Structure 1
């Protein structure tokens, strides 16, 4: 029987389905939760790894996954590598810069800055649009992503600049918080946004879709993620929904959730 993914039913049946021809599975558009990647690895022997790109770079910029240098890595180290967006394709140049000063930051896997990209097939501008700040003075495309780069060139996206939550003067990554919440076995989907707060400026709120049959509560999810994140990262509220709003391309429509949070 060929290996033909068709949702969770296919994943449950994978033990009787031959996936021997599968070499890799790439995810893109939004972050793949490590828990989801590891579920696929346990079921069919192949994890979901990342890719990253934009229409403006025609369109793939980096491909994730492990390489030969990781053959002796520990299980935890391999999970971290597979969670990265990967190494850039040939002739795709990446750098990260300080958001405020524009100074290029070191490739140490720790420094977080705005991701910028340049290359022969990277767009140099937008049609009939000029001076909107999308490109630097030296011609690099500003992606709007916050990221790290390590010594091996691995790109790890931290968050979209517009999706970061600023609470009490400190930044909270919605992507990392979503990954922690989605690791609960009862969670099917999650989106975290910043809700306006009179004291802290913003506080995180998690919108959660539970798996069929799950009875997970807000207290249970809070207990689950408490050991994983800083105390001040913990969401002020969990809102349970039957579905999350999506864009026409299937991405989470966080603007819709922000609008509803401001109204509420």
Structure 2
């Protein structure tokens, strides 16, 4: 969700001062527009990654001294990644055949983690057999590690879109769509397709005062430079509310159920 608080800051008579404030953002990648918005008022949003099984941190996104002088645009792109592993942890990327992938910023696979505070098994739970490999916990997240050692989570295994033998990241599409100013929320799901196995469908909530002026083409043109044409959603649906779980996360399970025949019947 885009931080609505940011939208009101520029118009307030007395601007807030967040100098030296650091905020940790976990779970889904924070929208770049939100990070830049808070930065204008002195706040620093630091992306982090972890899970219950990692109690809780695995990575934090802090700039290495060796890349602190990168161009500002490159540093902002880097800050979208989950970051560097904490001291004492080992992370690797594994393909479906169990092979470790190179740290080249391209090779994608499942993220595995091990270390002194990482769960080693589930108590009295048969899931342990498949969830742990050679002391590593299998996260169920898809991602890669770049040449500088920064982890990037592309998606959850269950949410990644498999289209024509290629993977499409729903998270990357969502964040690109939410960077468009009129967009309040965006969720992307993969739906069964008669030709391509799955194709992405975007569900988008638009700001109330701009609902009549935004079209599907506006959003596609906004995100097109960041994706190959075949990665773009086939359809964008504008809806009033995106289904959520009891804790406020996007409920992609409900979305897939609601729209499961969307491409099959069109």
Q: Which residue of 1 aligns with 2:5?
A: 7
Q: Which residue of 1 aligns with 2:70?
A: 73
What does 1:206-217 correspond to in 2, within 5 Å? 206-214=202-210, 215-217=213-215
Once the two structures are superposed, what CA deviation does each residue of 1:182-209 show, in whole Å capped at 9, x if it has no partner? 1211111100001111111111100001
Q: Aligned pair 1:144/2:140, yes or no? A: yes
What does 1:1-264 correspond to in 2, within 5 Å? 7-8=5-6, 11-12=9-10, 13=12, 16-22=15-21, 24-41=22-39, 43-99=40-96, 101-131=97-127, 132-136=129-133, 138-214=134-210, 215-262=213-260, 264=262
Once the two structures are superposed, what CA deviation does each residue of 1:70-128 show, in whole Å capped at 9, x if it has no partner? 321001210122111111112121111112x2111112222211100001111111121
Once the two structures are superposed, what CA deviation does each residue of 1:114-172 show, in whole Å capped at 9, x if it has no partner? 10000111111112112551111x12100011111134321111111111111122211
Shift, 1:174, TM fit:
0.8
Question: How far apart in 2 are the matches of 1:141 and 1:237?
Answer: 36
TM-score normalised according to structure 2 size: 0.89
Once the two structures are superposed, what CA deviation does each residue of 1:192-248 show, in whole Å capped at 9, x if it has no partner? 001111111111100001123223111211222222211111211111122222223
Distance change in 2, residues 1:15/1:226 (3 Å):
farther
Aligned residues: 256
Distance change in 2, residues 1:248/1:154 (3 Å):
same
SS at match of 1:50: strand
Once the two structures are superposed, what CA deviation does each residue of 1:23-74 show, in whole Å capped at 9, x if it has no partner? x222112121222222222x31334331100000111111113232232100
User: What is the root-mean-square deviation of aligned Cα atoms in Å?
Assistant: 2.0
Where structure 1 has 5 or more consecutive residues not aligned to the other structure, the ranges are: none
Question: How far apart in 1 are the matches of 2:124 and 2:200?
Answer: 38
Distance change in 2, residues 1:126/1:76 (3 Å):
same
Where structure 2 has 5 or more consecutive residues not aligned to the other structure, the ranges are: none
Question: How far apart in 1 are the matches of 2:208 and 2:42?
Answer: 25
SS at match of 1:31: coil
Distance change in 2, residues 1:114/1:73 (3 Å):
same
Q: Which portions of structure 1, spanning 4 or more consecutive aligned residues, are displaced by more than 6 angstroms?
A: none
Question: How far apart in 1 are the matches of 2:224 and 2:93?
Answer: 30
Distance change in 2, residues 1:260/1:222 (3 Å):
same
Mapped contact 2:192–2:261 kept (Cα < 8 A): no
